[in-house]
Amino acid sequence: MPRRADKRLGPMIFWSIAIAVTAIACAALFYAAAGRTVNATGPEMADPNDHFRLALAGIEADERSGKLDAEQALAARGELAREMLRSQSEGRARADKEFGRVPLLVGLVGIVALAFGLYAVLGQPDLPAQPLANRPEMVAQSMDLGEAISRIEARLAEAPDDLRGWQVIAPAYVELGRFADAANAYRRIIGLSEPTPDLQSDLAEALLFEANGAGSDEAMALLRAAATADASHVRSRLYLAAELMRAGNYPEASAFWQQAIDLAQGDEPWLPAATQGLAVALNDGVDAAAQQQSEMIQGMVGGLSERLYAEGGTIEEWAQLVRSYLVLDDRDAAQRAFDAAVAAYPAAFDRGDLDTLALGAGLTLNGDTP
Amino acid sequence: MSIELGHFALILAFAIALVSAIGGLLLWRRGERLALVLGHASILQFVLVAVAFLAVVQAFVASDFSLALAANHSHSLKPLIFKISGVWGNHEGSMLLWVLILVLFGALVATFGRRLPSDLTNLVLGTQSLLVAAFAGFTLLTSNPFERLSPAPLEGADLNPVLQDIGLAIHPPLLYAGYVGFSICFSFAIAALVSGRIDQAWARWVRPWTMLSWTFLTLGIAMGSYWAYYELGWGGWWFWDPVENSSFMPWLAGTALLHSALVMEKRNALKIWTIFLSIITFSLSLLGTFLVRSGILTSVHTFASDPTRGLVILTILAVLIGGAFLLFAIRSPSLRQGGLFAPISREGALILNNLFLATAVGAVLVGTLYPLLLDALTGTTISVGAPFFNFTFGALMAPLLLVLPFGPLLAWKRADLVAAGQRLMGFAALSVFLAILISALGGTSISMVPIGLLLGFWVSFGAIAEVIERSRLGRIPLGESLRRLRGLPRSIWSTALGHFGMGLTVLGIVTVSAWETELVTTLNPGETAELSGYLVAFDSFEQQPGANYVADTGVFTVTDPGGETATLLAERRTYVASGMPTTEAAIQTYGLSQLYLQLGEPLENTHVIRVWHKPYILLIWIGALVMAGAGALSLTDRRLRVGIPQRARKATAEAAQ
């Protein structure tokens, strides 16, 4: 209840403060001009001689304290007198009539209209502040995950049939990378409830992760069961296809890729990977795209190296050439290009990341002048 | 609610600024009452923008991710200091800081300027309010720091790790104080052009503001340079990066302005040129802002790559700068030129200084903008690198540094060059001797080094020549000399100190460029490497978690040529929220020199280690600090000094020259 009251009170308090601030600001401006008589300390140039009087006093003070000798002081006074004569011959600009109330009031109205008008467009007065400390959902999240898990584990040790407890802890184990525990938890959930395709896939996923991606017979059986039970289950089909690709069973893999693609709506994030997987599977495991890419790189590298060796180039271009050779696994050519780059850019500072790249790939640094 | 109140405060400040600008610039002849209103309005603008700024800081500190800015640039695990400095580690927040400093300067003028003539006050505060309205309006309408998110995300996206450094808490505020401070000079220049009157009250106001802004800018650039040096991990301290250049150009123009304002304050000469420089300096500050925020450049400084924002800033820039120069073109012919002086005089020397500095600004401007224009017009990408800048800038600075020590020794109005030269002879001889000695000992083959050393020593020693001359050190009893030294006006100390700092910086630049050594190698724990007599032993490699990052730490023991050992920790950090890596180089200071050690990418079975030895590199920044100290010292001096001409004892000789 109090939170709901806050929601309506918040904007009201905000508007009250905003109006008060505006009123104070306008009052300050209004009374600056209209309320008081003009400040007692007039401007220093009201009487132009004031400035010269101050300057003269400064010269005299310097002369007394010995910073100027008599001759210098005389010269300084002469300069001052000359400046004074000049300034008197110029005369002062006359001020217009005084600043009246009408323009002031127009200005104040303008300020109020502009401020509230612009705020109405840009502001969100009913959106409360949400500092982290006041957000209960965050407080719950910020509780240490490990601590929460050990608490649930303690409860499950007492009541091993607590389905809800296993449901909470299983994904948490996956998140923490404890895949064996996660697999165990999913087995318990399946034992305590129905073996749905989702649960079977979850368990298979945990098993796959635990074996670093290598599928076991148990995982494959689970995935096949899930795919058979639900003809529209995508996740199990994707895992099956990927696993069959790894095993080299391309005909069956392409069937599962095709099924998954048929089930897609068109904007799934996995779709491009599945399409590519299908293409590779139909090509008997040879990635035509990668082959093409490698040919393209070779063509590009040829052109680049010809130009760089002939005309030289920027250090980024040399780095690109070295990197390309490394990708193509042509270590001799990479070393040659690196040597040429070092010759072109003898200071290590200029070479930047090229050194890191080259030394990291096991090339040697020849002809460097440290 | 505090966020929305801050939002409202910023909008109210914008409204007050806009109305003040219109009122101040249209009704400036309406006397003192208007001046009082505008003064109050300036202080109100400051209070309101400060409230807005504090509201954003509060949202960052409390990790209120319903503020989009906090959600995009903060993180609940960030240490408190980086939560606060993170407020201006992004485009919107830094614009807010910019506006805050702008209104702070306006409020300072309103507070300290009560005794200025009312028409000058009206015009200055009107112009200042126009700038506030332009930049606050730009902030509110194109890059509003108060944008909200609903529902609020649970965690923020974190600040760019390179910026999670104490440098961010210091560098931008100082730099902005410098940039924005020149807006005061700009406003005074506009006021002088509109009212058609420049008197000594005008002059004595402009110089302290120039000095203050210049001091901040010097500190800001030096801090930025040191930050880049230790954070970016390349050991470089100046890159001629377009963004660095765009902070350096206002500094060069500001240095010129400082010297010409000096002539104007003391001798009432060079008025029109001073006004021109005031406009140029602030325009260059604005140009820097534009380049950083337009998305034209990519560097560590560019956080907003939104072309519409760039277009809006370009428009503001065109209107403000174009308007100012148009006003200058129309009004400057009717302004009265100031006092006369002979070519060889303090005034003449300062004009020479201005010519060289202005040309240097031009050179840097061309080097910075030419590639951008070429790219925009023809699509050809060229890069104007360090060699161009080093050569042109060096060629312009060498003669300036050569004549620099003469300036303070020349008298106002007319001076005796030969006498000044005689007084500098001893220092010249000493500089030549030291330059030759050091070049011989250092074993250099690069021909420019001795010249650079010579210039550095010459400027440093020449700077103290005036102080020694005035104290008649060695010619009268020592006690009497010391008494004279104490009695010297602070402005003379400030001149000497400023020029001395310049000399130190030159020396640092020359030594580090000539004798820096570097070593790139692969090391495993337990192995050692050697560089310039320093033995670097790689002790161990550890991985440990930090507050909001995971660090790969290399522990090194460095044995210096004297046999002393020190333990150095070089880190590579990976920030949790963004996954971005940074390098934290290990730097060990030996006197004024430093050993700089960087842990490179971890390789399969080894580590790339880079080590630099940087002789006397600290002189670069110490020199800058000394220069800034000189600026601060000058601010404490009494104003209203009159430049004293020398009696024309050798009038005939002068005339003959």
Chain A residue numbers with beta carbons less than 8 Å from the beta carbon of B16 are 25, 29, 111
Average pLDDT for chain A: 77
Check whether residue B9 and residue B105 sit in a common domain: yes
* pLDDT given for residue A49 in this prediction: 63
Supply the pLDDT for residue B217: 94
- Domain annotation covers residue B623: no
Indicate if the pLDDT at residue A23 is higher than 90.
Answer: yes
Looking at residue B294, its pLDDT comes to 64
From A32-41, B280-289, B510-519, the region with the lowest mean pLDDT: A32-41
Mean pLDDT of chain B: 84
Residue B460: give the domain boundaries.
404-515
**Cβ <8 Å between A348 and B518:** yes
Q: What is the pLDDT of residue A67?
A: 66
Give the residues across from B567 on adjacent strands: B557
| A195 exposure class (CB count in 10 Å sphere: 0-12, 13-18, 19+) | middle
Partner-chain contact B64 A43, CB within 8 Å: no
Chain B residues within 8 A of A76 when measuring between CB atoms: 642, 644
- Compare CB distances from A114 to B15, B40, B66 and report the shortest one's residue: B15
In a domain, B181, yes or no: no
Give the mean model confidence (pLDDT) for residues B266-280.
85
Domain boundary among B376, B400, B424: B400
- Measure the CA–CA gap between A165 and A150, rounded to whole angstroms: 12
Q: How far apart (Å, rounded) are the C-alpha atoms in residues B343 and B413?
A: 8
Among A80-84, A232-236, B301-305, the range of highest mean pLDDT: A232-236
pLDDT band at B183 (very low <50, low <70, confident <90, very high): very high
Q: Which of A46, A55, A370 is opposite residue B642, by nearest beta carbon?
A: A55
Residues B310 and B417 both lie in one domain: no
Q: Would you state the pLDDT for residue B653?
A: 37
Specify whether the CB–CB gap between B345 and B412 falls below 8 A.
Answer: yes
Share of chain B above pLDDT 90, in %: 26
Residues 48-87 on A with a CB inside 8 Å of B are 48, 51, 54-55, 58-59, 62, 65-68, 71-72, 75-76, 79-80, 82-83, 86-87
CB of B638 closer than 8 Å to CB of B207: no
pLDDT above 60 for A1? no
Check whether A278 has a pLDDT greater than 90.
no
A 10 A CB-CB count for B655 gives 10
Count of structural domains, chain B: 4
The answer on B552 and B458 residing in a single domain is no
Give the mean model confidence (pLDDT) for residues A38-44. Answer: 46
CB contact under 8 A, B195 and A93: yes
pLDDT at A146: 65
* B376, part of any domain: yes
The proportion of chain A whose per-residue pLDDT surpasses 90, expressed as a percent, equals: 6
With beta carbons under 8 A apart, name residues in chain A contacting B610.
348
Q: How far apart are CA B520 and CA A348, in angstroms?
A: 7
* Residue B183, in any domain of the structure: no
Each residue of B561-577: pLDDT tens digit?
Answer: 888 889 998 888 887 76
- Smallest Cβ–Cβ distance between B37 and the set A104, A131, A133 belongs to A104
pLDDT attached to residue A109: 92
Instruction: Please check whether residues B57 and B14 belong to one and the same domain.
Output: yes
- What is the average per-residue pLDDT within B99-117? 88
Task: Tell me if B17 is assigned to some domain.
Answer: yes
Asked if residue A4 has pLDDT above 50, the reply is no
B103 has pLDDT over 90: yes
Instruction: Give the number of A-B residue pairs with CB atoms closer than 8 Å.
Output: 235
Q: B54 and B153: one domain?
A: yes
pLDDT of residue B422: 78
From A216-225, B50-59, B381-390, the region with the lowest mean pLDDT: B381-390
Q: Tell me which of B515, B537, B555 is where a domain ends.
A: B515
Dist. CA B171–CA B234, nearest whole Å? 19
Residue A223 banded pLDDT, cuts 50, 70, 90: confident
Averaged over A113-134, what is the pLDDT? 86
Contact present, B133 and B53 (Cβ < 8 Å): no
Query: Using an 8 Å Cβ cutoff, are B531 and B519 in contact?
Result: yes
Bridge partner list, B571: B553, B584
| Higher-confidence position of B255 and A98 | B255
Strand partners, B587: B596
Half-sphere exposure of B307 (CA within 13 A, CB side): 0
Distance of CA A286 to the CA centre of its chain: 38
pLDDT-based confidence at B313, cuts 50/70/90?
confident
Tell me the chain A residues in contact with residue B36 when contact means C-beta distances shorter than 8 Å.
Answer: 32-33, 38-39
- Give the position of tokens 């060059």: B417
- For residue A287, give the 3-state DSSP assignment: coil
Tokens of B40: 């109050």
Q: What is the C-alpha to C-alpha distance for residues B372 and B381, in angstroms, rounded to an integer?
A: 8
Looking at the fold, whether B227 and B84 belong to one and the same domain comes out as no
Same domain, B292 and B329: yes
- Which H or E element spans position B602? strand B593-602
The shortest C-alpha distance from B246 to chain A (Å) reads 23
CB-nearest to B29 from A62, A95, A107 is: A95
CB contact under 8 A, B601 and A356: yes
Q: For residue B648, tell me if it sits in a domain.
A: no
Q: Which residue of B has its CA nearest to A114?
A: B15
Q: Which of residues 305-364 of A touch B (CB under 8 A)?
A: 314, 347-349, 352, 355-356, 359-360
Give the distance between the most distant pair of CA atoms in chain A.
112
Q: What is the per-residue pLDDT for A44?
A: 44
Q: Is residue B291 within 8 Å of B297, Cβ to Cβ?
A: yes
Residue of chain A whose Cα is closest to the Cα of B487: A67
Task: Give the pLDDT score at A143.
Answer: 53
Rounded to two decimals, the ipTM of the complex is 0.79
How many Å apart are CA B448 and CA B56, to the nearest integer?
A: 51
Q: Is the pLDDT of residue A41 over 70?
A: no
pLDDT greater than 50 at residue B505: yes
Domain match, B525 and B473 both = no
Residue B5: what pLDDT? 93
**Which residues 138-167 in chain A show a CB within 8 A of chain B?**
138, 141
* pLDDT surpassing 60 at residue A173: yes
**B489 and B539 housed in the same domain:** no
Where is the domain boundary, B344, B366, B400?
A: B400
Is the pLDDT assigned to residue B656 strictly greater than 50?
no
Same domain? For B11 and B153 the reply is yes
* Reported confidence tier of residue B300, pLDDT bands at 50, 70, 90: low
Q: Is residue B635 part of a domain?
A: no
- Is B529 part of a structural domain of the chain? yes
Q: Given a cut of 70, is residue A142 above it in pLDDT?
A: no
Residues B333 and B460 in one domain: no
Report residue B56's pLDDT band, with 50, 70 and 90 as the boundaries.
very high
Q: Does residue B386 share a domain with residue B326?
A: yes
pLDDT above 70 for A88? no
When pLDDT is averaged across residues B177-192 and rounded to a whole number, the result is 92
